[in-house]
Amino acid sequence: MQKLTKIHMIIFSLLFMLLLSSCKENIVEPVDYGNIQGIVLQPDGKTAISGAQIFTNPASVSIVTDNLGKFTIKNVPTGVYSITASQANFNSTMVSVSVQSGVTVQATIIMNIGSSNAPGMAVNPSPANQASDQPVSLKLTWMHSPSSYTSDSVKYDVYLFNSSSSTPQKIASLITDTCIILSNLKFSTTYFWQIVSRGIDTTASYGNIWSFTTESFPNNPYLFARKVNGNYQIFSSDSTIANTIQLTYDNNRDWWPRFNPQHNRIAFTSDVAVKPQIYIMNLDGSNLTKVTTTGVTGYGNYGIGFCWSPDGSNLLYSCNDKLYRIGSDGSNLTLIATAPTGRNFRECNYSPSGDKIVVLTVGANVYDSEIYLMNSDGSNMSLFAGNSPGATASPSFSIDGQKILFSHDVSGYQDNTGRQLDAHLFEINIATRDTVDLSYNKPDGTNDLNPRYSPNGAYIIFENGSNTLNSQKDIWIMSDKGTFVNSNNRLKLLSNGIMPDWK
């Protein structure tokens, strides 16, 4: 019994040592802090300014320079910082630095001497200094400080820059107004601004550096494309004019915007690289990355043939007669299917469960359109809806995967321009083939196009416009149950937009 106990103790000790060693391995503490060292000098670049107050934005600590004009701020979280130096008889001055992990960044601040003959500094800023949640279009105002100069004899230079820039931008020169209107600022960004008051004898007074932070990007549920200066651009909106925001600004065609299933990224196509390619960006239009290289092209397909996978890790897209899957980071390009001879793939859509794909194929004649179903790996491709007179487009699965939504021109009209005269939205049950016309109250002489289900499946978002070529299209919503907030079962959501999506 005693022998057995000793054996147990030995085994226990070995296991304990093994556990300790395994716990100690692979523990690497990331270095997420750096240091800032700086010096504050007079305009000659040599004479130190001692006792200058130093503070940063984002805030860290507030310190003063030593008798050599130097300062040190240790253990600062990584990021971009603006450092402001303030001292009596000198104009407040700011520089920006980028703090990196484990690195000590250097900053040199040159302060100009204030002039006793200069106009008084600008005061009483609006928005107030360090104001938050400010709109991205706003008015900056200030007041003339009493001095030997009258208010009508002072002119102002206005400087503005944000926390990611170290160089102030002069946005107004020698203006007499004590206000200026700003527009198209960035969301969730801290801006710094300074007023330089100038007298008639060219003397100047450099005002304090003020700051404000803009509001967060709105949680807009809608995406669409709109023509701006001859090119389509991507917009997001909550259906109000105030929160209808342009996201892309290329001198190219950007369209077919699609939320990923997590609703935190947007994919779209752009022909900035000649052939339409898929790009992904943040909801506010930032962090743009290119995904594809082969192009989203084919018969009647100028960048409209792609969709997200249900888990958001991949994109499915068509390139001529090939259907590809590619990782959202541009990796793992995989051929899924090849279209029937003489046909190209166009719009495509995954079933919500991800096991099926619905895809439109077209011939060289844009009206020659057929809908196919296949497994997600491209196998068992079968014809679901054959070619019929008039254009068919935009097939997609319902939220439960049991129906397919698409558009079809019931007039059967066909000419060499691809024009449609009376496009309706239809919903067809996959199992029974029962078909419902959802556009029974559509205005005459218009087309309903590019339908998408709402996230909860209760509504459909689509575009409607005159059947004349190049007419303006508007964004509408309807219910597939035939009832809505009005007797027509249709509600106009946004003016001047195409290719809508809804999160």
CATH number reported for the structural domain that contains residue 165 in this entry: 2.60.40.10
Q: How confident is the model at residue 204 (pLDDT cuts 50, 70, 90)?
A: confident
Claim to verify: residue 149 and residue 276 sit in the same structural domain: no
The answer to whether 98 and 124 are in contact (CB under 8 A) is: no
Claim to verify: residue 210 and residue 359 sit in the same structural domain: no
For 42-57, the pLDDT digits (tens) are 988 899 999 888 878 7
Claim to verify: residue 323 and residue 197 sit in the same structural domain: no
Claim to verify: residue 327 and residue 453 sit in the same structural domain: yes
Cite the beta strand spans of 9-146 per DSSP E.
33-41, 53-57, 63-64, 70-77, 79-86, 93-99, 104-110, 123-126, 131-134, 138-143
- Mean local confidence (pLDDT), 94-121: 83
Asked, for residue 236, whether it belongs to a domain, the answer is: yes
Number of domains making up the chain:
3
Q: Is 487 left (phi over 0), alpha (psi -120 to 50) or beta?
A: alpha
Q: What is the model's pTM?
A: 0.75
- Mean local confidence (pLDDT), 469-486: 85
Q: Which domain holds residue 151?
A: 123-214
Residue 166 pLDDT: 57
- Mean local confidence (pLDDT), 70-79: 91
Residue 28 pLDDT: 41
Asked, for residue 21, whether it belongs to a domain, the answer is: no
Residue 15 pLDDT: 42
Claim to verify: residue 342 and residue 446 sit in the same structural domain: yes
Instruction: Inform me whether the pLDDT recorded for 402 exceeds 80.
Output: yes
SS3 30: coil
Q: How confident is the model at residue 22 (pLDDT cuts 50, 70, 90)?
A: very low
Claim to verify: residue 428 and residue 294 sit in the same structural domain: yes
Claim to verify: residue 330 and residue 261 sit in the same structural domain: yes
Residue 55 pLDDT: 77
Question: Across all residues in the chain, what is the average pLDDT?
Answer: 88
Q: How confident is the model at residue 7 (pLDDT cuts 50, 70, 90)?
A: very low
CATH number reported for the structural domain that contains residue 306 in this entry: 2.120.10.30
Residue 62 pLDDT: 66
Nearest to 376 by CA among 280, 322, 310, 312: 310
Claim to verify: residue 194 and residue 235 sit in the same structural domain: no
Claim to verify: residue 289 and residue 361 sit in the same structural domain: yes
Strands 123-126 and 131-134: unpaired
Asked, for residue 92, whether it belongs to a domain, the answer is: yes
Residue 306 pLDDT: 97
For 226-238, the pLDDT digits (tens) are 999 999 999 999 9
Query: CA 161 to CA 163: how far, in whole Å?
Result: 7
Residue 14 pLDDT: 44
Asked, for residue 1, whether it belongs to a domain, the answer is: no
- Mean local confidence (pLDDT), 440-449: 95
Asked, for residue 17, whether it belongs to a domain, the answer is: no
The answer to whether 501 and 223 are in contact (CB under 8 A) is: yes
For 282-305, the pLDDT digits (tens) are 999 999 999 999 999 999 899 999
CATH number reported for the structural domain that contains residue 49 in this entry: 2.60.40.1120
Asked, for residue 20, whether it belongs to a domain, the answer is: no
